[in-house]
Structure 1
Amino acid sequence: MQPLRLALSLLFASLLSWHSLAEPFVFTAIPDEDETRLKARFDRVAVYLAERLKVEVEYIPVKSYPAAVSAFRNDQVQLAWFGGLTGVQARRLVPGAQVIAQGAEDPRFKSYLIAHVSTGLEPAETLPDAIRGMTLTFGSKSSTSGRLMPEYYLRQRFGEAPETLFSRVGFSANHSRTIALVQAGAYQLGTLNYAVWDEELAQGNIDPDKVRVIWTTPPYPDYQWTLRGDVDARWGAGFAARVRQALLDMDDPELLAAFPRSAFIPASNADFEAIAETARAIGLMDE
Protein backbone atom coordinates (compact mmCIF):
# COMPACT_ATOMS: atom_id res chain seq x y z
CA MET A 1 0.00 0.00 0.00
CA GLN A 2 2.82 2.40 0.79
CA PRO A 3 4.19 2.44 -2.80
CA LEU A 4 0.63 3.00 -4.08
CA ARG A 5 0.09 5.92 -1.70
CA LEU A 6 3.42 7.41 -2.79
CA ALA A 7 2.49 7.03 -6.45
CA LEU A 8 -0.89 8.67 -5.87
CA SER A 9 0.75 11.49 -3.93
CA LEU A 10 3.20 12.10 -6.75
CA LEU A 11 0.38 12.02 -9.30
CA PHE A 12 -1.67 14.48 -7.25
CA ALA A 13 1.32 16.81 -6.90
CA SER A 14 1.91 16.57 -10.63
CA LEU A 15 -1.71 17.46 -11.35
CA LEU A 16 -1.49 20.46 -9.03
CA SER A 17 1.68 21.58 -10.74
CA TRP A 18 0.06 21.18 -14.19
CA HIS A 19 -2.97 23.17 -13.04
CA SER A 20 -0.71 25.97 -11.85
CA LEU A 21 1.13 26.04 -15.17
CA ALA A 22 -2.17 25.94 -17.05
CA GLU A 23 -3.50 29.00 -15.23
CA PRO A 24 -4.03 31.75 -17.81
CA PHE A 25 -2.19 35.04 -17.39
CA VAL A 26 -4.79 37.78 -17.78
CA PHE A 27 -4.49 41.48 -18.54
CA THR A 28 -6.80 44.41 -19.16
CA ALA A 29 -6.66 48.07 -20.14
CA ILE A 30 -8.62 51.12 -19.10
CA PRO A 31 -11.43 51.72 -21.64
CA ASP A 32 -10.25 55.10 -22.88
CA GLU A 33 -11.62 54.50 -26.39
CA ASP A 34 -14.43 52.55 -28.05
CA GLU A 35 -14.58 49.06 -26.45
CA THR A 36 -14.97 47.09 -29.70
CA ARG A 37 -11.94 48.77 -31.22
CA LEU A 38 -9.86 48.14 -28.10
CA LYS A 39 -10.74 44.44 -27.94
CA ALA A 40 -9.66 43.82 -31.52
CA ARG A 41 -6.34 45.53 -30.83
CA PHE A 42 -5.57 44.02 -27.44
CA ASP A 43 -6.46 40.49 -28.53
CA ARG A 44 -3.44 40.76 -30.86
CA VAL A 45 -1.31 41.91 -27.93
CA ALA A 46 -2.45 38.80 -26.02
CA VAL A 47 -1.22 36.58 -28.86
CA TYR A 48 2.16 38.34 -28.81
CA LEU A 49 2.54 37.96 -25.04
CA ALA A 50 1.54 34.28 -25.15
CA GLU A 51 4.23 33.61 -27.75
CA ARG A 52 6.87 35.42 -25.71
CA LEU A 53 5.90 34.11 -22.26
CA LYS A 54 5.00 30.54 -23.29
CA VAL A 55 1.80 30.60 -21.22
CA GLU A 56 -1.84 31.13 -22.07
CA VAL A 57 -2.59 34.87 -22.10
CA GLU A 58 -6.04 36.43 -22.15
CA TYR A 59 -7.22 40.01 -22.56
CA ILE A 60 -10.49 40.89 -20.84
CA PRO A 61 -12.23 44.21 -21.52
CA VAL A 62 -13.75 46.25 -18.70
CA LYS A 63 -16.59 48.74 -18.79
CA SER A 64 -15.02 51.59 -16.81
CA TYR A 65 -11.83 52.91 -15.25
CA PRO A 66 -12.92 51.84 -11.71
CA ALA A 67 -13.73 48.38 -13.10
CA ALA A 68 -10.12 48.07 -14.30
CA VAL A 69 -8.86 48.90 -10.80
CA SER A 70 -11.32 46.44 -9.22
CA ALA A 71 -10.30 43.65 -11.62
CA PHE A 72 -6.66 44.17 -10.65
CA ARG A 73 -7.46 44.32 -6.94
CA ASN A 74 -9.57 41.14 -7.11
CA ASP A 75 -6.91 39.23 -9.08
CA GLN A 76 -9.16 38.86 -12.12
CA VAL A 77 -6.21 40.33 -14.01
CA GLN A 78 -2.54 40.26 -13.15
CA LEU A 79 -1.37 42.95 -15.56
CA ALA A 80 -3.05 46.20 -16.55
CA TRP A 81 -2.49 49.11 -18.89
CA PHE A 82 -3.50 51.90 -16.52
CA GLY A 83 -3.57 55.66 -16.70
CA GLY A 84 -1.50 57.55 -14.16
CA LEU A 85 -4.28 57.91 -11.58
CA THR A 86 -5.83 54.45 -11.96
CA GLY A 87 -2.35 52.94 -11.65
CA VAL A 88 -1.71 54.79 -8.39
CA GLN A 89 -5.12 53.69 -7.09
CA ALA A 90 -4.54 50.04 -8.03
CA ARG A 91 -1.08 49.83 -6.51
CA ARG A 92 -2.37 51.24 -3.22
CA LEU A 93 -4.87 48.36 -3.11
CA VAL A 94 -2.45 45.56 -4.11
CA PRO A 95 0.76 45.54 -2.02
CA GLY A 96 3.78 44.53 -4.07
CA ALA A 97 2.32 45.68 -7.38
CA GLN A 98 4.92 47.35 -9.59
CA VAL A 99 5.07 49.62 -12.62
CA ILE A 100 7.18 47.71 -15.16
CA ALA A 101 6.98 49.84 -18.32
CA GLN A 102 5.43 52.90 -19.89
CA GLY A 103 5.06 54.28 -23.38
CA ALA A 104 7.96 56.30 -24.77
CA GLU A 105 5.55 59.26 -24.91
CA ASP A 106 4.23 58.85 -21.36
CA PRO A 107 6.86 60.72 -19.29
CA ARG A 108 5.76 63.90 -21.09
CA PHE A 109 2.08 63.30 -21.77
CA LYS A 110 -0.44 66.11 -22.27
CA SER A 111 -4.14 66.88 -22.43
CA TYR A 112 -6.10 69.04 -24.84
CA LEU A 113 -8.93 71.43 -24.06
CA ILE A 114 -11.22 71.36 -27.09
CA ALA A 115 -14.08 73.69 -27.97
CA HIS A 116 -17.05 73.71 -30.32
CA VAL A 117 -16.51 76.37 -32.98
CA SER A 118 -19.71 78.14 -31.92
CA THR A 119 -17.84 79.34 -28.82
CA GLY A 120 -15.61 81.48 -30.99
CA LEU A 121 -12.59 80.36 -28.97
CA GLU A 122 -9.22 80.21 -30.73
CA PRO A 123 -6.00 78.39 -29.75
CA ALA A 124 -4.20 80.19 -26.92
CA GLU A 125 -1.10 79.83 -24.74
CA THR A 126 -3.11 80.30 -21.54
CA LEU A 127 -6.58 79.25 -20.47
CA PRO A 128 -8.90 82.06 -21.64
CA ASP A 129 -11.23 83.92 -19.28
CA ALA A 130 -14.03 83.40 -21.80
CA ILE A 131 -14.48 79.72 -20.83
CA ARG A 132 -16.08 80.79 -17.54
CA GLY A 133 -19.78 79.93 -17.49
CA MET A 134 -19.58 77.52 -20.45
CA THR A 135 -20.41 73.80 -20.35
CA LEU A 136 -17.59 71.27 -20.11
CA THR A 137 -17.25 67.51 -20.17
CA PHE A 138 -14.31 65.66 -18.69
CA GLY A 139 -13.63 62.04 -19.67
CA SER A 140 -13.85 59.36 -16.99
CA LYS A 141 -13.89 60.57 -13.38
CA SER A 142 -10.71 58.52 -12.85
CA SER A 143 -8.93 59.62 -16.02
CA THR A 144 -5.54 61.30 -15.62
CA SER A 145 -5.55 63.02 -19.00
CA GLY A 146 -9.31 63.44 -19.28
CA ARG A 147 -9.96 64.77 -15.78
CA LEU A 148 -7.19 64.87 -13.14
CA MET A 149 -4.58 67.02 -14.86
CA PRO A 150 -6.99 69.33 -16.74
CA GLU A 151 -8.89 69.94 -13.50
CA TYR A 152 -5.65 70.66 -11.68
CA TYR A 153 -4.65 73.33 -14.21
CA LEU A 154 -8.16 74.81 -14.32
CA ARG A 155 -8.11 75.17 -10.52
CA GLN A 156 -4.61 76.62 -10.66
CA ARG A 157 -5.64 79.20 -13.28
CA PHE A 158 -9.03 80.26 -11.88
CA GLY A 159 -8.76 79.39 -8.20
CA GLU A 160 -12.06 77.52 -8.06
CA ALA A 161 -13.62 74.13 -8.67
CA PRO A 162 -14.98 73.22 -12.11
CA GLU A 163 -18.51 73.02 -10.68
CA THR A 164 -18.45 76.76 -9.95
CA LEU A 165 -16.34 77.77 -12.94
CA PHE A 166 -18.65 76.17 -15.51
CA SER A 167 -22.42 76.23 -15.87
CA ARG A 168 -22.51 72.44 -16.34
CA VAL A 169 -19.89 69.73 -15.87
CA GLY A 170 -20.19 66.20 -17.24
CA PHE A 171 -18.16 62.99 -17.50
CA SER A 172 -18.16 61.29 -20.89
CA ALA A 173 -16.53 57.97 -19.78
CA ASN A 174 -13.86 57.98 -22.52
CA HIS A 175 -11.87 60.27 -24.78
CA SER A 176 -13.56 59.29 -28.04
CA ARG A 177 -16.95 60.14 -26.57
CA THR A 178 -15.65 63.49 -25.30
CA ILE A 179 -14.79 64.41 -28.88
CA ALA A 180 -18.19 63.25 -30.12
CA LEU A 181 -20.08 65.23 -27.47
CA VAL A 182 -18.24 68.48 -28.14
CA GLN A 183 -18.37 68.03 -31.89
CA ALA A 184 -22.15 67.53 -31.66
CA GLY A 185 -22.53 70.64 -29.51
CA ALA A 186 -23.80 68.74 -26.46
CA TYR A 187 -20.98 70.45 -24.51
CA GLN A 188 -19.09 73.58 -25.47
CA LEU A 189 -15.79 72.33 -24.06
CA GLY A 190 -14.06 69.02 -23.38
CA THR A 191 -10.79 67.72 -21.98
CA LEU A 192 -9.03 64.67 -23.32
CA ASN A 193 -5.91 62.66 -24.06
CA TYR A 194 -3.96 64.29 -26.90
CA ALA A 195 -3.01 60.91 -28.44
CA VAL A 196 -6.67 59.90 -28.90
CA TRP A 197 -7.42 63.28 -30.50
CA ASP A 198 -4.49 62.91 -32.89
CA GLU A 199 -5.52 59.36 -33.78
CA GLU A 200 -9.18 60.25 -34.37
CA LEU A 201 -8.12 63.24 -36.47
CA ALA A 202 -5.84 61.06 -38.60
CA GLN A 203 -8.70 58.61 -39.15
CA GLY A 204 -11.04 61.35 -40.33
CA ASN A 205 -13.38 61.08 -37.33
CA ILE A 206 -13.09 64.77 -36.40
CA ASP A 207 -14.64 67.64 -38.32
CA PRO A 208 -12.31 70.64 -37.84
CA ASP A 209 -15.15 72.92 -38.93
CA LYS A 210 -17.03 71.93 -35.76
CA VAL A 211 -14.42 71.35 -33.04
CA ARG A 212 -10.85 72.47 -32.40
CA VAL A 213 -8.05 72.30 -29.82
CA ILE A 214 -7.78 75.61 -27.96
CA TRP A 215 -5.28 74.84 -25.18
CA THR A 216 -2.67 72.23 -24.21
CA THR A 217 -1.58 71.37 -20.67
CA PRO A 218 2.05 71.33 -19.55
CA PRO A 219 3.54 67.80 -19.72
CA TYR A 220 3.06 65.20 -16.98
CA PRO A 221 3.61 61.40 -16.55
CA ASP A 222 0.67 59.22 -17.50
CA TYR A 223 -0.02 55.69 -18.75
CA GLN A 224 1.92 52.64 -17.57
CA TRP A 225 1.88 48.85 -17.27
CA THR A 226 1.35 47.66 -13.69
CA LEU A 227 2.00 44.04 -12.67
CA ARG A 228 0.89 42.19 -9.53
CA GLY A 229 3.70 41.22 -7.17
CA ASP A 230 2.83 37.52 -6.90
CA VAL A 231 3.35 36.45 -10.52
CA ASP A 232 6.76 34.81 -9.94
CA ALA A 233 5.21 32.57 -7.28
CA ARG A 234 2.48 31.52 -9.71
CA TRP A 235 4.24 31.28 -13.08
CA GLY A 236 7.79 30.65 -11.96
CA ALA A 237 10.87 32.58 -10.90
CA GLY A 238 11.73 35.39 -13.28
CA PHE A 239 8.26 35.60 -14.81
CA ALA A 240 7.84 39.30 -13.91
CA ALA A 241 11.14 40.10 -15.60
CA ARG A 242 10.04 38.17 -18.70
CA VAL A 243 6.76 40.10 -18.87
CA ARG A 244 8.64 43.38 -18.58
CA GLN A 245 11.14 42.40 -21.27
CA ALA A 246 8.38 41.26 -23.62
CA LEU A 247 6.77 44.69 -23.36
CA LEU A 248 10.07 46.52 -23.82
CA ASP A 249 10.84 44.38 -26.87
CA MET A 250 7.49 45.05 -28.56
CA ASP A 251 8.34 46.70 -31.87
CA ASP A 252 5.53 45.71 -34.24
CA PRO A 253 3.86 49.00 -35.30
CA GLU A 254 0.50 47.25 -35.53
CA LEU A 255 0.72 46.07 -31.92
CA LEU A 256 1.99 49.42 -30.66
CA ALA A 257 -0.93 51.12 -32.43
CA ALA A 258 -3.22 49.47 -29.86
CA PHE A 259 -2.07 52.02 -27.29
CA PRO A 260 -1.00 54.05 -29.43
CA ARG A 261 2.71 54.34 -28.61
CA SER A 262 5.96 54.29 -30.57
CA ALA A 263 7.67 51.96 -28.05
CA PHE A 264 7.75 50.97 -24.38
CA ILE A 265 10.46 52.07 -21.97
CA PRO A 266 11.37 51.15 -18.35
CA ALA A 267 9.40 52.79 -15.55
CA SER A 268 8.88 52.45 -11.80
CA ASN A 269 6.35 53.33 -9.10
CA ALA A 270 8.37 56.40 -8.15
CA ASP A 271 7.76 57.94 -11.56
CA PHE A 272 4.09 58.46 -10.64
CA GLU A 273 4.37 59.99 -7.20
CA ALA A 274 3.63 63.39 -8.73
CA ILE A 275 0.30 62.03 -9.98
CA ALA A 276 -0.57 60.86 -6.45
CA GLU A 277 0.34 64.27 -5.05
CA THR A 278 -1.85 66.02 -7.63
CA ALA A 279 -4.79 63.73 -6.86
CA ARG A 280 -4.44 64.48 -3.17
CA ALA A 281 -4.12 68.21 -3.85
CA ILE A 282 -7.50 68.43 -5.57
CA GLY A 283 -9.28 65.93 -3.32
CA LEU A 284 -9.49 62.95 -5.66
CA MET A 285 -7.45 60.72 -3.34
CA ASP A 286 -6.84 60.74 0.39
CA GLU A 287 -3.50 60.27 2.13
Structure 2
Amino acid sequence: MKLTHLVSASLLSLFSTLALSATFTFTAIPDEDESKLRTRFDKVADYLSEQLDVEVKYIPVKSYSAAITAFRNNQVQLAWFGGLSGVQARLLVPGSEAIAQGFEDQYFKSYIIANHTVELTRSDDFPKLNNYTFTFGSKGSTSGRLMPQFFIEKNLDKPVDQIFKRIGFSGDHSRTISQVEAGVYQIGAVNYKVWDSAVEKGEVDTSKVKVIWESPTYPDYQWTVHSGIDNDFGAGFKAKLTNALIGMTDKDLLASFPRSSFVPAKNSDYQPIERVAKTIGMID
Protein backbone atom coordinates (compact mmCIF):
# COMPACT_ATOMS: atom_id res chain seq x y z
CA MET A 1 0.00 0.00 0.00
CA LYS A 2 1.30 3.46 -0.88
CA LEU A 3 2.33 5.82 1.90
CA THR A 4 -0.39 8.31 0.94
CA HIS A 5 -3.00 5.58 1.23
CA LEU A 6 -1.64 4.55 4.63
CA VAL A 7 -1.75 8.15 5.85
CA SER A 8 -5.30 8.61 4.54
CA ALA A 9 -6.45 5.39 6.16
CA SER A 10 -4.82 6.37 9.45
CA LEU A 11 -6.42 9.80 9.44
CA LEU A 12 -9.82 8.29 8.64
CA SER A 13 -9.42 5.81 11.48
CA LEU A 14 -8.34 8.57 13.87
CA PHE A 15 -11.28 10.78 12.86
CA SER A 16 -13.72 7.93 13.38
CA THR A 17 -12.25 7.16 16.80
CA LEU A 18 -12.45 10.81 17.87
CA ALA A 19 -16.00 11.12 16.60
CA LEU A 20 -17.13 8.00 18.42
CA SER A 21 -15.37 9.01 21.64
CA ALA A 22 -16.82 12.55 21.65
CA THR A 23 -19.37 13.51 24.29
CA PHE A 24 -22.95 13.58 23.05
CA THR A 25 -24.75 16.50 24.68
CA PHE A 26 -28.40 17.40 25.03
CA THR A 27 -30.60 19.93 26.76
CA ALA A 28 -34.25 20.53 27.56
CA ILE A 29 -36.51 23.54 27.89
CA PRO A 30 -36.79 24.58 31.57
CA ASP A 31 -40.54 24.10 31.88
CA GLU A 32 -40.59 22.83 35.48
CA ASP A 33 -38.74 23.07 38.78
CA GLU A 34 -34.99 22.86 38.08
CA SER A 35 -34.30 20.05 40.55
CA LYS A 36 -36.98 17.85 38.98
CA LEU A 37 -35.50 18.44 35.54
CA ARG A 38 -31.97 17.63 36.70
CA THR A 39 -33.13 14.35 38.27
CA ARG A 40 -35.05 13.35 35.14
CA PHE A 41 -32.49 14.24 32.52
CA ASP A 42 -29.44 12.93 34.36
CA LYS A 43 -31.24 9.56 34.27
CA VAL A 44 -31.90 10.06 30.54
CA ALA A 45 -28.18 10.75 30.04
CA ASP A 46 -27.27 7.49 31.81
CA TYR A 47 -29.81 5.57 29.74
CA LEU A 48 -28.63 7.01 26.42
CA SER A 49 -24.97 6.48 27.30
CA GLU A 50 -25.67 2.80 27.85
CA GLN A 51 -27.74 2.47 24.67
CA LEU A 52 -25.43 4.47 22.39
CA ASP A 53 -22.08 3.41 23.84
CA VAL A 54 -20.85 7.02 24.04
CA GLU A 55 -20.54 9.51 26.87
CA VAL A 56 -23.79 11.47 27.14
CA LYS A 57 -24.18 14.68 29.13
CA TYR A 58 -27.27 16.72 30.01
CA ILE A 59 -26.67 20.48 29.92
CA PRO A 60 -29.34 22.50 31.81
CA VAL A 61 -30.31 25.97 30.59
CA LYS A 62 -32.10 28.87 32.24
CA SER A 63 -34.62 29.76 29.52
CA TYR A 64 -36.39 28.49 26.43
CA SER A 65 -34.37 30.90 24.28
CA ALA A 66 -31.13 29.57 25.80
CA ALA A 67 -32.13 26.03 24.80
CA ILE A 68 -32.72 27.19 21.23
CA THR A 69 -29.42 29.11 21.15
CA ALA A 70 -27.47 26.11 22.44
CA PHE A 71 -29.01 23.97 19.71
CA ARG A 72 -28.38 26.57 17.01
CA ASN A 73 -24.72 26.84 18.01
CA ASN A 74 -24.31 23.05 18.11
CA GLN A 75 -23.43 23.20 21.80
CA VAL A 76 -25.98 20.41 22.12
CA GLN A 77 -26.85 17.85 19.48
CA LEU A 78 -30.26 16.89 20.87
CA ALA A 79 -32.98 18.80 22.71
CA TRP A 80 -36.26 18.09 24.43
CA PHE A 81 -38.27 20.98 23.02
CA GLY A 82 -41.85 22.10 23.27
CA GLY A 83 -43.85 22.43 20.08
CA LEU A 84 -42.99 26.09 19.50
CA SER A 85 -39.35 25.97 20.62
CA GLY A 86 -38.83 22.93 18.38
CA VAL A 87 -40.25 24.76 15.37
CA GLN A 88 -38.07 27.79 16.14
CA ALA A 89 -34.93 25.67 16.53
CA ARG A 90 -35.48 23.71 13.33
CA LEU A 91 -36.03 26.92 11.37
CA LEU A 92 -32.62 28.10 12.60
CA VAL A 93 -30.85 24.80 11.87
CA PRO A 94 -31.80 23.50 8.41
CA GLY A 95 -31.72 19.72 8.27
CA SER A 96 -32.50 19.23 11.96
CA GLU A 97 -35.30 16.78 12.65
CA ALA A 98 -37.97 15.92 15.18
CA ILE A 99 -37.39 12.20 15.76
CA ALA A 100 -39.50 11.17 18.78
CA GLN A 101 -42.37 12.46 20.88
CA GLY A 102 -44.25 11.26 23.90
CA PHE A 103 -47.37 9.30 23.02
CA GLU A 104 -49.38 11.99 24.83
CA ASP A 105 -47.63 14.78 22.91
CA GLN A 106 -49.69 13.93 19.85
CA TYR A 107 -52.77 15.05 21.80
CA PHE A 108 -51.52 17.69 24.23
CA LYS A 109 -53.70 20.15 26.15
CA SER A 110 -53.55 23.31 28.22
CA TYR A 111 -55.62 24.10 31.29
CA ILE A 112 -56.89 27.50 32.31
CA ILE A 113 -56.66 27.58 36.10
CA ALA A 114 -58.14 30.09 38.56
CA ASN A 115 -57.68 31.11 42.17
CA HIS A 116 -60.54 29.97 44.45
CA THR A 117 -61.73 33.58 44.85
CA VAL A 118 -62.59 33.77 41.15
CA GLU A 119 -66.29 33.08 40.61
CA LEU A 120 -65.85 30.90 37.55
CA THR A 121 -66.51 27.16 37.48
CA ARG A 122 -65.28 24.45 35.16
CA SER A 123 -67.19 24.29 31.91
CA ASP A 124 -66.85 23.15 28.31
CA ASP A 125 -67.86 26.68 27.33
CA PHE A 126 -65.01 29.17 27.18
CA PRO A 127 -64.92 31.27 30.39
CA LYS A 128 -65.51 35.02 30.54
CA LEU A 129 -62.00 36.16 31.44
CA ASN A 130 -62.37 39.92 31.07
CA ASN A 131 -60.66 42.20 33.59
CA TYR A 132 -58.84 39.55 35.63
CA THR A 133 -55.08 39.37 36.23
CA PHE A 134 -53.51 36.58 34.21
CA THR A 135 -50.19 34.78 33.96
CA PHE A 136 -48.74 32.73 31.16
CA GLY A 137 -45.74 30.44 31.77
CA SER A 138 -42.59 31.13 29.78
CA LYS A 139 -42.91 33.56 26.88
CA GLY A 140 -41.76 30.75 24.58
CA SER A 141 -43.99 28.01 25.98
CA THR A 142 -46.39 26.16 23.69
CA SER A 143 -48.78 24.93 26.37
CA GLY A 144 -48.26 27.86 28.73
CA ARG A 145 -48.36 30.73 26.27
CA LEU A 146 -48.74 30.09 22.50
CA MET A 147 -51.82 27.88 22.44
CA PRO A 148 -53.60 29.51 25.42
CA GLN A 149 -53.15 32.94 23.84
CA PHE A 150 -54.49 31.58 20.55
CA PHE A 151 -57.56 30.01 22.18
CA ILE A 152 -58.25 33.06 24.36
CA GLU A 153 -58.06 35.52 21.46
CA LYS A 154 -60.05 33.21 19.19
CA ASN A 155 -62.88 32.77 21.71
CA LEU A 156 -63.00 36.35 23.04
CA ASP A 157 -62.26 37.99 19.69
CA LYS A 158 -59.70 40.53 20.91
CA PRO A 159 -56.01 40.58 21.85
CA VAL A 160 -55.04 39.47 25.33
CA ASP A 161 -53.80 42.92 26.34
CA GLN A 162 -57.36 44.16 25.86
CA ILE A 163 -58.83 41.32 27.91
CA PHE A 164 -56.81 41.23 31.14
CA LYS A 165 -56.08 43.91 33.74
CA ARG A 166 -52.50 42.70 34.08
CA ILE A 167 -50.47 40.01 32.27
CA GLY A 168 -47.43 38.21 33.64
CA PHE A 169 -45.03 35.46 32.62
CA SER A 170 -44.18 33.13 35.49
CA GLY A 171 -41.30 31.41 33.69
CA ASP A 172 -42.49 27.81 34.04
CA HIS A 173 -45.60 25.75 34.73
CA SER A 174 -44.75 24.95 38.35
CA ARG A 175 -44.50 28.66 39.17
CA THR A 176 -47.74 29.40 37.30
CA ILE A 177 -49.57 26.97 39.58
CA SER A 178 -48.00 28.38 42.75
CA GLN A 179 -48.66 31.99 41.73
CA VAL A 180 -52.33 31.37 40.92
CA GLU A 181 -52.74 29.28 44.08
CA ALA A 182 -51.26 32.14 46.13
CA GLY A 183 -53.41 34.77 44.40
CA VAL A 184 -50.48 36.62 42.83
CA TYR A 185 -52.51 36.25 39.64
CA GLN A 186 -56.19 35.37 39.53
CA ILE A 187 -55.98 33.16 36.44
CA GLY A 188 -53.24 31.35 34.52
CA ALA A 189 -52.47 28.92 31.71
CA VAL A 190 -50.66 25.68 32.43
CA ASN A 191 -49.44 22.44 30.84
CA TYR A 192 -52.01 19.77 31.73
CA LYS A 193 -49.33 17.14 32.39
CA VAL A 194 -47.56 19.31 34.96
CA TRP A 195 -50.87 20.12 36.66
CA ASP A 196 -52.12 16.52 36.75
CA SER A 197 -48.79 15.23 38.04
CA ALA A 198 -48.58 17.92 40.75
CA VAL A 199 -52.14 17.20 41.88
CA GLU A 200 -51.46 13.46 41.98
CA LYS A 201 -48.37 14.05 44.16
CA GLY A 202 -50.29 16.34 46.54
CA GLU A 203 -48.27 19.41 45.56
CA VAL A 204 -51.35 21.53 44.77
CA ASP A 205 -53.93 22.79 47.24
CA THR A 206 -57.05 22.25 45.14
CA SER A 207 -59.12 24.17 47.69
CA LYS A 208 -57.22 27.30 46.57
CA VAL A 209 -56.78 26.76 42.82
CA LYS A 210 -58.95 25.00 40.26
CA VAL A 211 -59.18 24.11 36.56
CA ILE A 212 -61.90 26.09 34.81
CA TRP A 213 -61.28 25.15 31.15
CA GLU A 214 -59.51 22.47 29.12
CA SER A 215 -58.26 23.26 25.62
CA PRO A 216 -58.65 21.25 22.42
CA THR A 217 -55.65 19.05 21.66
CA TYR A 218 -52.55 19.99 19.67
CA PRO A 219 -49.03 18.54 19.05
CA ASP A 220 -46.40 19.56 21.57
CA TYR A 221 -43.12 18.22 23.02
CA GLN A 222 -40.57 16.32 20.96
CA TRP A 223 -36.93 15.28 20.77
CA THR A 224 -35.16 17.21 17.99
CA VAL A 225 -31.73 16.15 16.71
CA HIS A 226 -29.14 18.37 15.06
CA SER A 227 -28.35 18.07 11.36
CA GLY A 228 -25.17 16.20 10.51
CA ILE A 229 -25.29 13.99 13.58
CA ASP A 230 -24.12 10.94 11.62
CA ASN A 231 -21.09 12.90 10.41
CA ASP A 232 -20.12 13.70 14.00
CA PHE A 233 -20.85 10.37 15.66
CA GLY A 234 -20.71 7.82 12.88
CA ALA A 235 -23.03 6.40 10.22
CA GLY A 236 -26.30 5.14 11.64
CA PHE A 237 -26.04 7.13 14.89
CA LYS A 238 -29.30 9.04 14.32
CA ALA A 239 -31.20 5.81 13.73
CA LYS A 240 -29.65 4.28 16.85
CA LEU A 241 -30.57 7.38 18.88
CA THR A 242 -34.13 7.34 17.55
CA ASN A 243 -34.51 3.68 18.43
CA ALA A 244 -33.14 4.31 21.93
CA LEU A 245 -35.64 7.10 22.58
CA ILE A 246 -38.60 5.16 21.20
CA GLY A 247 -37.41 2.06 23.03
CA MET A 248 -37.36 3.75 26.45
CA THR A 249 -39.41 1.42 28.66
CA ASP A 250 -38.17 2.12 32.20
CA LYS A 251 -41.39 2.90 34.10
CA ASP A 252 -39.78 5.31 36.56
CA LEU A 253 -38.02 7.21 33.79
CA LEU A 254 -41.17 7.48 31.69
CA ALA A 255 -43.17 8.55 34.75
CA SER A 256 -40.73 11.39 35.39
CA PHE A 257 -41.72 13.11 32.12
CA PRO A 258 -44.57 11.94 32.64
CA ARG A 259 -45.24 9.92 29.47
CA SER A 260 -46.55 6.41 28.87
CA SER A 261 -44.10 5.84 25.99
CA PHE A 262 -42.27 7.57 23.16
CA VAL A 263 -43.30 7.23 19.51
CA PRO A 264 -41.81 8.38 16.18
CA ALA A 265 -42.12 12.05 15.21
CA LYS A 266 -41.39 14.12 12.11
CA ASN A 267 -41.14 17.82 11.36
CA SER A 268 -44.47 17.96 9.54
CA ASP A 269 -46.28 16.90 12.73
CA TYR A 270 -45.65 20.42 14.05
CA GLN A 271 -46.97 22.42 11.10
CA PRO A 272 -50.11 23.34 13.12
CA ILE A 273 -47.89 24.92 15.77
CA GLU A 274 -45.98 26.90 13.15
CA ARG A 275 -49.26 28.15 11.65
CA VAL A 276 -50.56 29.30 15.04
CA ALA A 277 -47.26 31.02 15.88
CA LYS A 278 -47.47 32.93 12.60
CA THR A 279 -51.13 33.78 13.23
CA ILE A 280 -50.42 35.49 16.57
CA GLY A 281 -47.10 36.98 15.43
CA MET A 282 -44.64 34.88 17.45
CA ILE A 283 -42.68 33.88 14.35
CA ASP A 284 -42.51 35.51 10.92
TM interval, short-chain normalised? over 0.9
Cα pair 2:68 2:85 within 8 Å, conserved: yes
Cα offset for 1:249? 0.6
One-letter amino acid of the structure 1 residue matched with residue 59 of structure 2: I
Q: Distance in 2 between matches of 1:258 and 1:76?
A: 25
Scaled by the length of structure 1, what TM-score is found?
0.95
Amino acid at match of 1:188: Q
Question: Displacement, 1:17?
Answer: 3.7
Asked if structure 2 preserves the Cα contact closer than 8 Å seen for 1:42 and 1:258, the reply is no
**Count of residue pairs the alignment pairs up:** 283
Structure 2 equivalent of residue 86 of structure 1: 85
* Aligned residue number for residue 269 of structure 2: 271
Flag structure 1 segments of 5+ consecutive residues without an equivalent.
none
- Kindly state the Cα deviation for residue 9 of structure 1 after the two structures are TM-superposed: 7.8
Aligned twin of 2:59: 60
In the TM superposition, residue 14 of structure 1 has moved relative to its aligned partner by 4.9
In the alignment, what sits opposite 2:123? 124
Spell out the pairing of 1:39-118 with structure 2 (5 A cutoff): 39-118=38-117
Q: What is the Cα deviation at residue 11 of structure 1?
A: 6.2
What are the equivalent positions in structure 2 for 1:133-212 lying under 5 Å apart?
133-212=131-210
| Structure 2 gap ranges (5+) | none
SS in 1 for 2:117: helix
Which shifted more, 218-227 or 13-22? Answer: 13-22
Answer whether contact 2:127 2:212 (CA < 8 A) is retained. Answer: no
Identity %: 53
2:166 and 2:202 mapped to 1: Cα distance? 29
In structure 2, distance between residues paired with 1:111 and 1:7: 60
TM-score by length of 2: 0.96
Asked if the contact 2:138–2:169 (Cα under 8 Å) also holds between the matched residues in 1, the reply is yes
Give, in whole Å, the separation in 2 of the partners of 1:285 and 1:13.
42
Question: What is the aligned partner in structure 1 of residue 249 from structure 2?
Answer: 251
- Alignment check: 8 A CA contact 1:108 1:221 kept: yes
Gap change, CA 1:237 and 1:11, over 3 Å in 2: closer
Look up the SS of the partner of 1:115 in the other structure. strand
Shift of 1:162: 1.0
User: 1:67-103, CA deviations, whole angstroms, 9 ceiling, x for partnerless residues?
Assistant: 1111100101111110000000000000100110110
Structure 2: which amino acid aligns with 1:34?
D
Contact 2:111 2:189 in 1 (8 A): yes
Offset, 1:12: 6.1
Amino acid at match of 2:18: H
- Cα separation, 2, equivalents of 1:63 and 1:257: 23
